[in-house]
Structure 1
Amino acid sequence: MPENARDLNATSLDPNDDAPEWTDEMFEHAELAINGKVIRPATGYLGPNGVVKGRPPLRDRAKQQVTLRLDPDVLAKFREGGPGWQGRINRALRTILEL
């Protein structure tokens, strides 16, 4: 057997496997399929800290994707806060525009 091939019949766990253990919450949100037919669709996705719910429902109007040029220091300030920086820019603009 080539050295990079795995023995599919092996029963021992891979000590180098860094995949997280599945929690009950993960199973609750996972898609359930039998013979390829989806019985229950997934209700979230796996994020770095476990199950994350899907996107919130769209309001009466969906957001539009645009291209916007910002000064590097402005962009860096919003990105400092981590994920969600685009939403923070949106909230800042809504505040300034009093929307």
Structure 2
Amino acid sequence: MNANKRATHTDWIDPDDAPELTDEFFEQADEYVGDKRVRRGRPKAGSPKLALTVRYDAEVVEAFRATGKGWQTRMNAALKDWLKTHSPA
């Protein structure tokens, strides 16, 4: 197993002097199944989105922004809906 880069410094030599293992310690610990580390956080998306630089007319962006939080998701949904009935070419 690879050495943990975030390993804590030990000030003790005798195992009886080792600090008590708290819930906080176990919450921060890496978890393994066999030799494979279990990744924390959000799982990778099956179809991740692409980061692009795109230029739209100001009135289009303002109209979507006026709808509030999540406007980019709604703009993406509107473009997907448009693709159902139109060819991008």
Give the TM-score, by structure 2 length: 0.47
Q: Which has the larger radius of gyration?
A: 2
Structure with a larger share of its residues in helix: 2
Give the TM-score, by structure 1 length: 0.43
